[in-house]
């Protein structure tokens, strides 16, 4: 049998869950930083100038929006700095959403800052606003760099809009997204050379230097140093490549001391295969087998975004990883009913979880959605789980329903929640794990909540970027 069914990772399932107080403390800290920068603005005479009206009031509002923008921008960097405690506390899905919201909010505050500061300075000098902006760019220290940084941020924001993202390959989008770091770096000189709210007091200077150092340190430590150390320690290589079906390929990997790799079933890595041109572009793939200390397995569907390359990998190909990431794990499951709901390639992390979780025969249900029976992956392993561990398996075949639904078209007469209750009568007491395309996952999550599943027992991993 495959490694997902041979050895169950008991050591992984015994790891302690991240305490809820850590998540609460992290969220509170983020809010406090905004209060701090507002207090720095107040102490610098911001409220007095705002009340005074006129050009000074406009400039004061511009200063405040600039402070909020800079603070949120640095928080945005920290959100996806891959800090392990933050990852385990919130999960990739939630962090990605917050990263997106924070990024767009920071961007529009930055635009407001530029407009308000320009209008305020122009009003004070009785000058044309466009002429004043040009004068600021060319004569103020650091403003040329800040302008270049602003253009980089505009490019990142435009390519992050959903309509634009759908037209870009994952590799192209990821490369363009890295320019956000360029934008942050180019803004720093302007803020520290000319921003009175940054250098106007020792407290302000200490705060901003500390925040920049924490953001930069988080990126260096967890995006560069930790992955480098793990790759040097574990030295992963491709062991074999196994076709699983049309457009579906499994990669088995071996390495050194994999029992010390802190990964759980349900998590994913960013993978780089050193097989020639294009190796520098990473791809997020979930483990499709329970990690057992001896090897790892991922299963990749050819989606036309570079993922097809894995089918041509040769044994012995060196592999680089970043991770593990994701919170679709069994750390909060202490026993009891389990329901797995998968759509398409979303079966991969759930298959790994079936090998790790502790459940009694008959108390686990796998609901697997696919267009046709030919698209079912790992049929042999699923049959093994059904025969050896008593997993109830429900296959849902057919075309999509015409309404937003996790059900196929032939079940469209049923409500999503009623169909789920009929399939799993004790769904209200179960831990439910979902993985699939974004729209399908949203519909399945809504159905589970409507059917009575508690929020803390509902675990998702969106299959999207």
Residues 451 and 314 in one domain: no
Residues 249 and 163 in one domain: no
HEC sequence for the chain? CCHHHHCCCHHHHCCCCCCHHHHHHHHHHHHHHHHHHHHHHHHCCHHHHHHHCHHHHHHHHHHHHHHHHHHHHHHHHHHCCCCHHHHHHHHHHHHHHHHHHHHHHHHHHHHHHHHHHHHHHHHHHCCCHHHHHHHHHHHCCCHHHHHHHHHHHHHHHHHHCHHHHHCCCHHHHHHHHCHHHHHHHHHHHHHHHHCHHHHCCHHHHHHHHHHHHHHHHHHHHHHHHHHHHHHHHHCCEEEEEEEEECCEEEEEEECCCHHHCCCCCCCEEEEEECCCCCCCCCEEEEECCCCCCCCEEEEEECCCCCHHHHHHCCCCCEEEEEEEECCCCCCCCCCCCEEEEEEHHHHHHHHHHHHHCCCCCCCEEEEEEECCHHHCCCHHHHHHHHHHHCCEEEEEECCECCCCCCCEHHHCCCCHHHHHHHHCCCHHHCEEEEEECHHHHHHHHHHHHHCCCCHHHEEEEECCC
Per-residue CA distances from 187 to 53, 69, 180, 219 (Å): 28, 11, 11, 17
Query: What is the distance between the alpha carbons of residues 56 and 69, in angstroms, rounded to a whole number?
Result: 20
Residues 127 and 200 in one domain: yes
- Which of the residue ranges 74-83, 131-140, 233-242, 292-301 has the most confident prediction, judged by mean pLDDT? 233-242
- Please give the distance of CA 18 from its chain centroid, rounded to a whole number: 18
> 45-80: b or e for each residue (b if 16 or more CB lie within 10 Å)?
bbeebbeeeebbbbbbbbbbbbbbbbbbbbbbbbbb
> 326-360: b or e for each residue (b if 16 or more CB lie within 10 Å)?
bbbbbbebeebbbbbbbbbbbbbbbbbbbbbbebe
Establish if 256 belongs to a structural domain: yes
Lowest mean pLDDT among 51-60, 72-81, 193-202, 207-216: 193-202
Establish if 358 belongs to a structural domain: yes
pLDDT value of position 309: 77
Mean pLDDT of the chain, nearest integer: 83
Residues 39 and 128 in one domain: yes
Establish if 191 belongs to a structural domain: yes
pLDDT level of residue 215 (50, 70, 90 thresholds): confident
Quote the domain boundaries for residue 110.
21-229
Q: Is the pLDDT of residue 243 over 90?
A: no
List, edge to edge, every strand of the sheet that includes 268-273: 283-286, 268-273, 319-325
Residues 259 and 207 in one domain: no
Residues 111 and 256 in one domain: no
The sign of the dihedral angle between the CA atoms of 414, 416, 417, 419 is positive
Per-residue CA distances from 284 to 3, 13, 210, 220 (Å): 21, 23, 32, 20
pLDDT tens track for 420-438: 999 999 999 999 999 998 8
Query: What is the distance between the alpha carbons of residues 175 and 162, in angstroms, rounded to a whole number?
Result: 16
Query: Which of these three, 186, 212, 229, is where a domain ends?
Result: 229
Q: Is the pLDDT of residue 465 over 60?
A: no
Total domains present in the chain: 3
Query: Of 361 and 30, which is predicted with more confidence?
Result: 361
Residues 153 and 261 in one domain: no
Establish if 331 belongs to a structural domain: no
pLDDT value of position 110: 86
Residues 410 and 449 in one domain: yes
Residues 241 and 358 in one domain: no
Query: Of 114 and 27, which is predicted with more confidence?
Result: 114
Query: Of 166 and 88, which is predicted with more confidence?
Result: 88
pLDDT value of position 235: 96
Query: Of 286 and 26, which is predicted with more confidence?
Result: 286
Q: Is the pLDDT of residue 9 over 50?
A: no
Half-sphere exposure of 309 (CA within 13 A, CB side): 16
CATH of the domain at 301: 2.40.30.10
CATH of the domain at 207: 1.20.120
Query: Which of these three, 259, 292, 325, is where a domain ends?
Result: 325
Establish if 10 belongs to a structural domain: no
């Amino acid at each position: 049998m495959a490694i997902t069914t041979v050895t169950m990772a008991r050591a992984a399932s015994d790891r302690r869950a991240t305490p809820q107080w850590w998540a609460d403390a992290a969220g509170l800290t983020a809010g406090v930083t905004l209060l701090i920068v507002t207090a720095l603005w107040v102490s610098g005479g911001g409220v007095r100038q705002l009340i005074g009206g006129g050009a000074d009031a406009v400039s004061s509002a511009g200063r405040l929006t600039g402070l909020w923008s800079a603070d949120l921008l640095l928080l945005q960097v920290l959100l996806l700095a891959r800090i392990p405690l933050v990852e385990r506390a919130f999960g990739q899905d939630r962090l990605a959403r917050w990263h997106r919201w924070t990024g767009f909010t920071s961007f529009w505050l930055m635009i407001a800052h530029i407009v308000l500061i320009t209008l305020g300075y122009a009003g004070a000098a009785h000058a044309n606003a466009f002429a004043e902006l040009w004068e600021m760019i060319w004569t103020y220290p650091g403003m040329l760099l800040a302008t270049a940084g602003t253009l980089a941020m505009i490019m990142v924001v435009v390519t992050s809009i959903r309509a634009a993202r759908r037209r870009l390959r994952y590799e192209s989008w990821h490369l363009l997204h890295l320019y956000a770091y360029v934008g942050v770096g180019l803004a720093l000189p302007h803020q520290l050379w000319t921003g009175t709210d940054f250098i106007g007091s020792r407290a302000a200077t200490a705060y901003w230097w500390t925040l920049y150092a924490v953001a930069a340190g988080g990126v260096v430590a967890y995006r560069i140093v930790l992955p480098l150390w793990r790759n040097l320690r574990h030295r992963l290589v491709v062991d074999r490549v196994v076709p699983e079906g049309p457009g579906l390929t499994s990669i088995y990997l071996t390495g050194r001391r994999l029992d010390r790799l802190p990964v759980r079933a349900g998590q994913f890595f960013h993978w780089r295969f050193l097989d020639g041109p294009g190796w520098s572009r990473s791809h997020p793939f979930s483990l499709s087998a329970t990690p057992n200390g001896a090897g790892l397995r991922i299963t990749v569907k050819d989606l036309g975004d570079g993922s097809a390359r894995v089918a041509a990998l040769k044994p012995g190909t060196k592999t680089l990883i970043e991770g593990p990431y994701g919170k679709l794990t069994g750390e909060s499951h202490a026993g009891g009913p389990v329901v797995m709901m998968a759509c398409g390639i979303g079966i991969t992390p759930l298959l790994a979880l079936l090998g790790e979780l502790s459940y009694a025969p008959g108390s686990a249900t796998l609901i697997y959605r696919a267009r046709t029976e030919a698209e079912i992956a790992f049929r042999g392993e699923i049959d093994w789980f059904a025969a050896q561990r008593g997993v109830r398996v429900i296959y849902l075949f057919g075309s999509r329903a015409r309404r937003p639904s996790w059900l196929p078209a032939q079940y469209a007469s049923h409500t999503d929640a009623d169909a789920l209750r009929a399939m799993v009568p004790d769904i209200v007491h179960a831990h439910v794990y979902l993985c699939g395309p974004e729209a399908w996952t949203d519909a399945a999550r809504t159905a589970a909540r409507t059917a009575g599943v508690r929020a803390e027992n509902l675990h998702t991993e969106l299959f999207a970027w």
